[in-house]
Structure 1
Amino acid sequence: MAISDFFCPQTTSIVAKRERRKEARPGELLNAALDLFVEKGFAATRVEEVAARAGVSKGTLFLYFPSKEELFKAVVRENISGRFKAWNDEFEAFEGNTCEMLCYCMNSWWERVGATKTSGITKLMMSEAKNFPELAAFYQHEVVLPGQSLIRRILQRGMDRGEFRPLDLDYAVYSVVAPMIFLMLSRHAVGACVPAHVELDPKKYIATQLSTILYGLRLSPGDMEPSQEIPQA
């Protein structure tokens, strides 16, 4: 038996480990970047820190992401905007009424995004958007507009099926968005939005918001026509 026969299995194993490690690096970098962006913000996060937390060199990071801006965009796509196709597919397949759809939308969004570290990206964008207009435009295009579009589809479905009263969708979408933004901010800025001694239960909060929203959205017998004006007090 040749000496090489003794070493080939070990060499193969080492090569396989290196290949797996190389394939894992983008994911590890994105996880490390998400952690640091949420902890420190975009401006204060340095690529050296991301690389160190992922266990690679700065040069390795730049092989995958040529700048901190591109790294941030990849984090957003990986954790938020890349999911919109699946979320729209769920919209198409949903069989319940639109009230049930909205309840599902808000609760599942909280479980998948809001309750995770990813929700810290929203706080980051709200605090740093003016200083980084290119990233703000990217976030608008990748997250804000697709998110609002999906909510519009839900509300339009309710109107089309005679479940919701006629709505100005340009403004109605914020009835759904605003409570969820508040919940995210309360998670990442305890004391700023909610007193530190108050423990905000996300499920109870969402249930209460849904009750208020759906009460206002539902079309009931005897509702006045959209053209009628509400009498002034």
Structure 2
Amino acid sequence: MDTVEKNQSGDRQAEIIRISTDLFLKNGFSGTSMSKIANACDITKASLYHHFSGKEDLFIACVTDGYKEALVALEEILADTSQSPETQLRLALDTLYSTIVGSPVGQMSPLIAEVSRAFPSVARSFHSDYIEPQEALMWQLIDRGIDQGAFKDVDKKVLSHLIFGPIVTLSMSREMFASFEDLDDHFPISHLQNGHAKIILGLLEAD
């Protein structure tokens, strides 16, 4: 396969993933068949299976592909050593909130939890392809702050839950109560994010 064909194939897969993500969000996992996806993508079912071996494989692609930009953004924040550790941590939290709470793939949080119970490979892929590298990048950032004396050393496992837990909970809560007219009064993203950042930085602040 030459470069042009590879690019075309990659573009086609990206389009399938985008359309499939919309369908999964609208209809759920069980309500989204490969036939419906093929029709929405204006391709044959055989062509769809050429790109993805099945619905489970396609769902995993939707989840892991959708979070790749967040990982790239975290890598760029980590690479910018001109910023203080505190500023880098705030920027990293901005990225996590934007991805997990504010993006289409982030809106799939409840669906990911549901599908993972029936298909353990979804949970395993999501953890290995997104959660683990994301945690690793966050800890590189925090370890740098510790080395520079800006942060104190803390229990990594506990802090990881304190960083990611509230963001995932907010994402799932906003999806659960999405029909509320006063959704932003109950779950104000900016207010909760700012408070979350202050708590994390307070826990890390060197004595």
Q: Aligning the two structures, in what range does the TM-score lie when normalised by the shorter sequence? A: 0.7 to 0.9
Partner of 2:182: 197
**Offset at 1:206?**
0.5
CA 1:169–1:198: 2 relative to 1, 3 Å: same
Alpha-carbon distance between aligned partners in 2 of 1:140 and 1:47, rounded to the nearest angstrom: 25
Instruction: Point out which structure has higher relative CO (alpha carbons under 8 A, 6+ apart).
Output: 2
Counterpart code for 2:177:
V
- 1:184 partnered with 2:171: yes
Quick one: which of 139, 143, 148 aligns to 1:152? 139
**Offset at 1:119?**
0.3
Q: TM-score, normalised by structure 1?
A: 0.75
Counterpart code for 1:155:
I
Partner of 2:3: none
Counterpart code for 2:95:
S
Alpha-carbon distance between aligned partners in 1 of 2:57 and 2:123, rounded to the nearest angstrom: 13
**Offset at 1:155?**
2.0
Once the two structures are superposed, residues 181-218 of structure 1 have per-residue CA deviations (whole angstroms, 9 ceiling, x without a partner) of: 122112322169xx763413212211111112211221
**Offset at 1:31?**
1.1
Partner of 1:9: none
Alpha-carbon distance between aligned partners in 1 of 2:101 and 2:178, rounded to the nearest angstrom: 18
**Offset at 1:34?**
0.6
3-state secondary structure, aligned to 1:42: coil
Partner of 1:132: 119
- 1:214 partnered with 2:205: no
**Offset at 1:159?**
1.5
**Offset at 1:100?**
0.9
**Offset at 1:86?**
5.1
Q: TM-score, normalised by structure 2?
A: 0.83
Partner of 1:98: 85
3-state secondary structure, aligned to 1:213: helix
Quick one: which of 66, 75, 97 aligns to 1:110? 97
Alpha-carbon distance between aligned partners in 1 of 2:167 and 2:137, rounded to the nearest angstrom: 15
Quick one: which of 21, 33, 36 aligns to 1:34? 21
Partner of 2:48: 61
Gaps of 5+ in 2: 1-6
Alpha-carbon distance between aligned partners in 2 of 1:21 and 1:143, rounded to the nearest angstrom: 25
CA RMSD of aligned residues (A): 2.5
Alpha-carbon distance between aligned partners in 1 of 2:41 and 2:158, rounded to the nearest angstrom: 42
**Offset at 1:53?**
1.6
CA 1:70–1:181: 2 relative to 1, 3 Å: same
Counterpart code for 2:198:
S
Gaps of 5+ in 1: 1-19, 221-233
CA contact (8 A) 1:155 1:169 kept: no
